[in-house]
Chain A
Amino acid sequence: MNDFAIASAVGLTESPPATSELAEGARPASTPVQAQRILQIDSLTVSFDGIKAVNDLSLAVDQDELRVIIGPNGAGKTTLLDMICGKTRPTSGSILFKGQDLRRLAEHQIVRAGVGRKFQTPSVYEDLSVIENFEISIPQGQGVFGSLLFRRTPSVRSRIEHVAEQVFLADALRRKAGQLSHGQKQWLEIGMLLIHDPQLLLLDEPVAGMSAREREATAELLDRIARGRSLIVIEHDMDFVRSIARRVTVLHQGRVLSEGSVAQVQSDPRVVDVYLGH
């Protein structure tokens, strides 16, 4: 049992928000087929200033799956993640996470429901130390009074150290996050997600700007954390994709172009056309 579980048993965590009403046409989670699907996206569309960044996109991710999303720039990959985690509201379509409609929830409610998001450029608290970055991300005492009374107990500390070790930052706890290298910041961000134990992780370009060795370490890290969790990873580096991916979705102009294993997708003539054609 980890500390978070202990804490929630003792009643120190925030209770999860009430499930919002299911979107029309959504199947309840009790159906065997749906129970396996952790994320169900149907006909998702969003437009900015008349341009459809995501256009009638449908996607399904199973529980414990590691899905990689690739596609040329402007294909709508980041926008898709933005809509799942609540940063952007879709114009139409539905997003079901464990049967729950995410469109009605605020960002922090989506996080508490079990979704974690890592941003394209490392988004850590530069002025705070690494340990403080982790500490803030602990899903305990997240209300005003809760955070006033929050104490760094030994169990909190050990949980932080455990996660820090997983993301290769055990030695850097006291350093200001702003002083970490680019790759370390990415790891820190992943660690900040891990610490609240999400069931679905959205990682936007986790190895961008990393050295070859860092990429290897990250591949191994992702492999580890994918056990018992679902991951959606956006990446450009095809070698990295090959090393971690089981199933790949290719996006183009806001739609799904192709889906399958790495080999299938790479030999799909439509994908070849988009990447090499024109």
Chain B
Amino acid sequence: MSFDIAVMQFFNGISLFTILLLMAGGLAIVFGLMGVINMAHGELMALGAYMTYLTARAFELWAPSWMGVYIFFGIAVAFATTFVLGYLLERGFIRFFYKRPLDTLLATWGLSLILQQAYRSIFGPQEVSVPLASWLSGAWNVTDGIQLPLNRLFIVGLTFIVAVGVWMVLYRSAWGIRVRAVMQNRAMSGAVGIDTNRVDALTFALGSGLAGIAGSVFTMIGSTNPGTGQLYIIDSFIVVVFGGVASLLGTAFSSFAIAQSQTTLEYLMSGSMAKVTILVMVIVALYFRPSGLFTSRVRT
């Protein structure tokens, strides 16, 4: 393999890594920090994608000269919508299933079916796609042989910004401390005056908002249909579980490991066999370390 191809392969891996991280990040917050299994997470991503699509259409109709930057608004709209929906979902639905993870799994699966049908009824069963802004089309020719697609570079950059943002919210803000306090010791947090209900809702909303961003960003590399969410949900869960459920850092490592392995294997074998190999490797790895890559040993 020549150096050029190696670099581009590595970049493919990074690109996939950022995509997996965006998808799994929201899930890691919801599943990892809160212990809630939201099988409708994929549908929240799809919602982000559809919102971006609507934003693109709106710009086409009313502000065509601004089409170059609609994507930023699209992301913002996607985040806002899914954040709010996540908040409402947590307050009105999810919180009744706390402490019953298997029931949450099934109930949110039901929710995902409902949302899928809702998208089908509202947006139609066919695929929708959004135009790519001109400044994002094409590639960056680093050298003669190395070409890195601009849209994927944008995603990498955006993921970095989002990751830093999430880190700052969780580890550097006053609200972040509250979130971590509630996750570690709910009773004491309540006793010192933290509104645990509100923290739960906002945390779930944050996770959902991240899903929205992920979905919005996907519109840049693929089209959306009502079933899109379901395509990604299992992969996202596998990434989170493999990384170690209670660890955001684990999710990051897991995304990276899986992404690089997948792109490397795809170079060597067919796409489906690569995927199968990755899945089998993860299942085997989970056998040896059931709680994932990053765990802490605790007295049960």
Contact = CB atoms under 8 A, between A and B. Distances in A.
Contacts of A82: 299
Max chain A C-beta neighbours (<10 A), residue from B297, B298, B299: B299
B250 to A, nearest CB: 16
Nearest to B298: A48
B202 to A, nearest CB: 29
Interface in B260-300: 296-299
A88 interface: yes
A49 interface: yes
- Interface extent on A, as a size class? under 10
Interface in A63-97: 79, 82, 88
A98 B217 CA distance: 65
Contacts of A79: 299
Contacts of B299: 48, 53, 79, 82, 88
A53 B298 CA distance: 11
Nearest to A88: B299
A79 B298 CA distance: 12
Interface in A48-63: 48-49, 53
A178 B297 CA distance: 32
Interface in A201-218: none
**Secondary structure class of chain A's binding surface, majority of residues:** mixed
Nearest to B299: A48
A36 to B, nearest CB: 33
A88 B300 CA distance: 9
A82 B299 CA distance: 10
Contacts of B298: 48-49
Contacts of B296: 49
Nearest to B296: A49
A50 to B, nearest CB: 9
Nearest to A47: B297
A49 B299 CA distance: 9
B204 to A, nearest CB: 28
B290 to A, nearest CB: 15
A216 B86 CA distance: 56
Contacts of A88: 299
Contacts of A53: 299
B171 to A, nearest CB: 20
Nearest to A46: B299
Nearest to A79: B299
B297 to A, nearest CB: 5
A88 B296 CA distance: 15
B20 to A, nearest CB: 29
A88 B298 CA distance: 10
A82 B298 CA distance: 13
A88 B297 CA distance: 11
A42 to B, nearest CB: 22
A197 B231 CA distance: 55
Contacts of A48: 297-299
A103 B297 CA distance: 18
A28 B298 CA distance: 35
A88 B299 CA distance: 8
A59 to B, nearest CB: 20
Contacts of B297: 48-49
B280 to A, nearest CB: 27
B233 to A, nearest CB: 32
A7 B134 CA distance: 83
Nearest to A53: B299
A83 to B, nearest CB: 11
A131 B299 CA distance: 32
A107 to B, nearest CB: 13
A27 B190 CA distance: 55
B255 to A, nearest CB: 25
Interface in B70-94: none
A79 B299 CA distance: 9
A235 B298 CA distance: 24
A91 to B, nearest CB: 10
Contacts of A49: 296-298
B288 to A, nearest CB: 16
A82 B296 CA distance: 19
Interface string A99-128: 000000000000000000000000000000
Interface of A: 48-49, 53, 79, 82, 88
Given A48-B297, A49-B298, A79-B299, 7 more contacts: A48-B298, A48-B299, A49-B296, A49-B297, A53-B299, A82-B299, A88-B299
10 contacts: A48-B297, A48-B298, A48-B299, A49-B296, A49-B297, A49-B298, A53-B299, A79-B299, A82-B299, A88-B299
Query: Which 8 pairs of residues, A with B, have the shortest CB-CB distance?
Result: A48-B299, A48-B297, A49-B296, A49-B297, A48-B298, A49-B298, A79-B299, A53-B299
